[in-house]
Amino acid sequence: MNGKIIKRRGRGWIVILAVALAATSAAWLFVVTTRDSGRVDVSPVVPIGSSAPTPTGSPTGVATEVPVAPQVPDAATVKSDDGAAAYLDYFLTVYNFSFASLDAKAMEQSATESCKFCAAVISDVRSARAEGFRFEGSELVATNVIVAPGDPDVGLLVNALVNQAPGRKVSNDGTLVKEFPASEGVRMDAGLRWVGDGWKVFAVNLPNKK
């Protein structure tokens, strides 16, 4: 079945066929590496669509930016296909904010406990904070969004194409730890469900990532 095209950006667009999304989908992220433990390590991001960051001091004496937590936009509070698409945009902003600020609270609030992708984000954000790392660059944005027909109370499949700019992971003293290449046109399948009075993400899968 074909989904409803909610948004398209860039030079062109494609229609992604709606497919069944399992709640246990793998927690793959946009740049995937593995640590010795075998746990997925995520690429860094910075906030998009959020309030202007506030300068602050850093251990090296160079001013850094403290991002402001994004707020759920009015468009993402509507129980409709358009509302689900808007919430996916908000979710990506939360993903970005989580790594830029090393604060996982917004991610916890935007997802259900069944979302393994979200749990991986939360775990890696907390680990980076505890280990003294920070992230720069890697702005992430959805270019095409399609919402498949369905019942919001049961769950909607939202397909998107996602671009991510290059970025890097550095230690608090500015030492480069790892660089991340840009990615374009990465397919994302997200499961969104209306819970109580708002949307929650219950699963995310990147089928083209191996």
What whole-number distance in Å separates Cα of residue 178 and Cα of residue 168?
6
Q: How much is the pLDDT for 207?
A: 87
70 close to 45: Cβ distance less than 8 angstroms: no
Position 134: which residue type? R
The CA distances from residue 145 to 5, 60, 90, 185, 205, in Å, are 6, 41, 13, 12, 15
What whole-number distance in Å separates Cα of residue 40 and Cα of residue 57?
31
pLDDT by position in tens, the chain (length 210): 456 556 654 433 333 333 334 333 333 333 332 222 222 334 433 333 333 333 334 444 445 567 889 999 999 999 999 999 999 999 999 999 999 999 999 999 999 999 999 999 999 999 999 999 998 888 789 999 999 999 999 999 999 999 998 999 999 899 999 999 999 999 999 999 999 999 999 999 988 765
Q: How much is the pLDDT for 137?
A: 82
CATH fold of the domain at 4-205? Nuclear Transport Factor 2; Chain: A, (3.10.450)
3-state helix, strand, coil in the chain (%, to 5): 20, 35, 45
DSSP 86-145: HHHHHHHHHHHHHHHHT--HHHHHHB-TT-HHHHHHHHHHHHHHHHTEEEEE--EEEEEE
Q: How much is the pLDDT for 65?
A: 65
Q: How much is the pLDDT for 34?
A: 27
Domain ranges for the chain: 4-205
